Amino acid sequence: MIAATTWLLDRSLIGAADLDVLELGCGTGRTVRRLLGEGARSYTGVDGSAGMLSVASQRNVDPRVKFMQADLLSPWTLDKQMDLALMVLVLEHLPTLDAVAQTLAHVVKPGGRVRIVDLHPERVANGTLAHFSDGGMEVWFASIAHNVHVLCDVFDSAGFDVVRRDWIASDALLAGVPQLAKHRGLKVLLDLKATRRTKPRRRTSEQEATD
């Protein structure tokens, strides 16, 4: 699905110009060049794998770029809040979402944005799993088919306004990523754009009456 996310982000830009950007689950730093190319002011990549981060650091030597190790399954904070957070092909590997939503609520400034692009849960539920080739060997990852509505509700509860888009395996996408032909007409990518609310959502009288 890496080729598919590349296709998507070529057509629906992240919008990183003049922003301090945080990427959760950065892996080997595949999106660093894209973000700097869009004009990001700084980039911080976070991953749980020391090996991945070592590769990322070697590939991306730039004074605007730094990497740090953290467990995405536990909440954590930074010494400053960021303008934009990015996650690409990460959520499907997280068995729970509350910790990452809580982390994003701490590290993204009010009015800041989160962009999440992932293998669509419908494809995961139907047996499509993430994998890559390593020295001629296919390496497969466990994937979780999160309910999309629950996923959106988790981030809403954490203080984000969420806009969802399902990307279909259309003729245009398949022209760029022909290996997805077997998914023609189906939802292949989930694209969430979330903005951290600047004020807590006002409770309605109905909510107050039921508390």
8 A C-beta contact, residue 26 and residue 85: no
At 75, which amino acid appears?
P
What whole-number distance in Å separates Cα of residue 210 and Cα of residue 8?
43
Q: Where are the beta strands (DSSP E) in 89-168?
A: 108-119, 131-134, 137-140, 160-168
CA distance 89 to 92: 7
Q: pTM here?
A: 0.88
H or E stretch including 157?
helix 148-157
Q: Return d(Cα 40, Cα 16) in angstroms, integer.
A: 5
Superfamily of 2-196 according to CATH: Vaccinia Virus protein VP39 (3.40.50.150)
Q: What is the pLDDT along the chain (211 residues), one digit of tens a residue?
A: 889 999 999 999 999 999 999 999 999 999 999 999 999 999 999 999 999 999 999 999 999 999 999 999 999 999 999 999 999 999 998 999 999 999 999 999 999 999 999 999 999 888 765 544 444 444 445 678 899 999 999 999 999 999 999 999 999 999 999 999 999 999 999 999 999 999 877 654 433 333 3
Domain positions in the chain are 2-196
